[in-house]
Structure 1
Amino acid sequence: MTGPEQTPDPVAARPLDSFSASAEPLAAIRDRIAQAARIAQRRPEDVTLVAVSKTHPAEAIRPLIAAGQRAFGENRVQEAEAKWAPLREEHAGLDLHLVGQLQSSKAEDAVRLFDCIHSLDRPSLLTALARAMDKAGRRVPLFVQVNIGAEDQKGGCAIADLPALLGEARSADLPVIGLMCVPPAGIEAAPFFALLDQLARDHGLAGLSMGMSDDFETAIQLGATHVRVGSALFGHRA
């Protein structure tokens, strides 16, 4: 990462237990989002902060809810179901995003539980989600995950396969609102964010789910509409 906005943030290095009684990191991240948006001549309110709460307990989440955070991200359907059922009983207006890989066999559970799914990446999952949405009578917004770095070990639709997958989604009346990516680790993320932005423009999509704790400011300056921030909010678990 390069540029002044990527100076290591001491907030991200604090342990989990120091966050459980305070939402101070949330205010810091919101300020950084607003600054990055202003630099890009964008409105801060056009960027959705998805607080990635995967593996973190409800006790670490409640302070953020109390401070006004409403969008949260989870990686696994089963973990999210156990954790968020009581939290949603306590608090209205929460939006739950699935940001991890989704098995086709879990499509019905995901459609029932989540308000947005960021990991559509293959025709078999598309078919399962279409069937699940028809059965549930609700349409859950989707991002198509693109394997932007062509990495064998990562999920995501290959760039060359993206037009066909989007065509299938539109034929199935699935509400694809944008593209999502996880750039390769250890190298500059900006070119990958720029490529995802161009792909979204080429296909008439407005949403861009890109940017995490280490690079969300760069992502915002390159058009991100949703940033997925975990460790900078919750700290690193052992």
Structure 2
Amino acid sequence: MVKLNAVRDDIKKLSNSVELMAVSKTHPYSAILECYELGQRLFGENRVQEIEEKFPKMEERPQDMYLALIGHLQSNKVKKAVALVDRIDSVDSIKLLLLINKECEKLNKVIDILFEVNSSGEEQKSGFTSKEELFEAVKLLKDLKFVHLRGIMTVGPLGDDREKNIKAFKYTKNIFDEIKSSYISDIDILSMGMSGDYKEAIECGSNLVRIGTAIFGQRDYNV
């Protein structure tokens, strides 16, 4: 039994303007459909292979189901990814940005993206570590016709240190605000916060939280 409504209620107590993404990593498509029946429309997955194995083809899914890739995207999986998802939330380099645009051009498909920021500086995390490189990627967008920047995403620091979480989330919010004020005024997604830190993320300005365990239960990593 998914705990979608309990999570929704908890988020609403914090803010009425935060969108919920249900992240079903390792959980079956039947659990996703259970959430869908309860009104959930935005879903996230970490791995291209799992999307390919678990989800029906895009044309066979409910028409209003929206799927985002939120995990690190390897260059050799870009071709598959752009055909499987509605949005890529983990664009973490200029090289990847250019590859996505190239593959989408072949499909004549414009895809929404988020730039991922490594806000904690942890080496095991993906994301732009340099603000200069990130802003260079933003400047390139004017010449890329098949990608549409919707906003910024980050994964909070490892552990449950509230102060570290808030520092990372505020750093990402500042980058979002700078892009919005200086480069692209219509970006609208600041994706920060997961099951263990979404309260701090919302406090720092997140308007999209990615919740897996709190909705679906513990993940089965043997899957």
Is contact 2:20-2:208 (8 Å) kept? yes
Q: Post-superposition shift, 1:135?
A: 1.2
The alignment status of 1:31 with 2:9, answered yes or no, reads yes
Give the partner amino acid of 1:51: A
Q: Post-superposition shift, 1:165?
A: 1.8
The alignment status of 1:164 with 2:136, answered yes or no, reads yes
Give the partner amino acid of 2:70: V
The alignment status of 1:184 with 2:157, answered yes or no, reads yes
Q: Post-superposition shift, 1:88?
A: 6.6
Is contact 2:156-2:197 (8 Å) kept? no
Equivalence map 1:73-92=2 (5 Å): 73-85=44-56, 89=60, 91-92=62-63
Give the partner amino acid of 1:36: L
- Where structure 1 has 5 or more consecutive residues not aligned to the other structure, the ranges are 1-18, 38-43
Deviation per CA, 1:130-179, whole angstroms, max 9, x where unpaired?
10111111211111001111111111111332111222233324311111
Q: Post-superposition shift, 1:59?
A: 2.5
Question: Any idea what SS the aligned residue of 1:175 has?
Answer: strand
Give the partner amino acid of 1:26: L
Aligned partners of 2:71 and 2:49: how far apart in 1?
12
In structure 2, the CA distance between the partners of 1:88 and 1:220, relative to structure 1 (3 Å rule), is farther
Range that drifts further, 93-102 or 74-83? 74-83
In structure 2, the CA distance between the partners of 1:87 and 1:29, relative to structure 1 (3 Å rule), is farther
Q: Post-superposition shift, 1:90?
A: 5.7
CA RMSD of aligned residues (A): 1.7
Q: Post-superposition shift, 1:221?
A: 2.4
TM-score after normalising by structure 1: 0.82
TM-score after normalising by structure 2: 0.87
Is contact 1:147-1:156 (8 Å) kept? yes
1:104 corresponds to:
75
Aligned partners of 1:193 and 1:209: how far apart in 2?
10
Deviation per CA, 1:38-59, whole angstroms, max 9, x where unpaired?
xxxxxx2x32211001111123
Give the partner amino acid of 1:84: F
- Percent of aligned positions that are identical: 37
Number of residue pairs aligned between Structure 1 and Structure 2:
209
More RCO (CA 8 Å, sep 6+) = 1
Give the partner amino acid of 2:138: L
In structure 2, the CA distance between the partners of 1:99 and 1:34, relative to structure 1 (3 Å rule), is same
Aligned partners of 1:107 and 1:208: how far apart in 2?
23
Is contact 2:173-2:205 (8 Å) kept? yes
In structure 2, the CA distance between the partners of 1:88 and 1:66, relative to structure 1 (3 Å rule), is farther
Is contact 2:21-2:210 (8 Å) kept? yes
In structure 2, the CA distance between the partners of 1:34 and 1:165, relative to structure 1 (3 Å rule), is same
1:216 to 194, 198, 222: 198
1:137 to 83, 108, 122: 108
In structure 2, the CA distance between the partners of 1:196 and 1:137, relative to structure 1 (3 Å rule), is same
Aligned partners of 1:211 and 1:141: how far apart in 2?
20
